[in-house]
Amino acid sequence: MEEGEYRQTYHEFNQLRCKFEKSILSRQTMCEHAHRFCLADREGIACNNNEANRQCDLLLTQLRSKAIFALKLTKIEGPLPHAKEVKVQTGGVMGLNNIINNETPTSSNVENIFALIEQAKHKYGRLETLPYDEIARQIVQFEGRKRSRR
């Protein structure tokens, strides 16, 4: 299957793409609204809840804008490169988990992103008022998989 055909089929099949897809595919986070599917030889994540998707979009937008310095960028124009997006998504969710559950920074998995967002809204009122400076520290500390040497 040609890459262009794959992307078109993917977008037709996955109408409500999970905002934290890269993080979930890295097997470090999960969400109660995530639905895994396979298309050709690839795996994807769909969201099965419109409101959850909007909340995740709001959080991810905030994480990206607050992590510009942590990513060593001056501005974000368009999509981030894959590794930086994984760093924002996974490091951001882990940082949020640390501040919500009063934990020290860990590399433990987050089992339910949406439940974590709901806890954050309950604790801080709105996602815009989260302590993003603390979350950004976890984004900086997060390291993805190391490349294997061949």
Q: Which comes out higher in pLDDT, residue 3 or 139?
A: 139
State the average pLDDT over residues 37-62: 92
Would residue 18 count as lying in a domain?
Answer: yes
Would residue 7 count as lying in a domain?
Answer: yes
Would residue 146 count as lying in a domain?
Answer: no
User: What pTM was computed for the model?
Assistant: 0.86
Note whether 139 and 131 are within 8 A (CB). no
CA angle, residues 113, 115, 120, in degrees to nearest 5 = 95
Q: How many domains does the chain have?
A: 1
Instruction: Specify the DSSP element, H or E, that contains 108.
Output: none
Would residue 96 count as lying in a domain?
Answer: yes
By residue range, what is the domain housing residue 85? 3-141
pLDDT value of position 49: 96
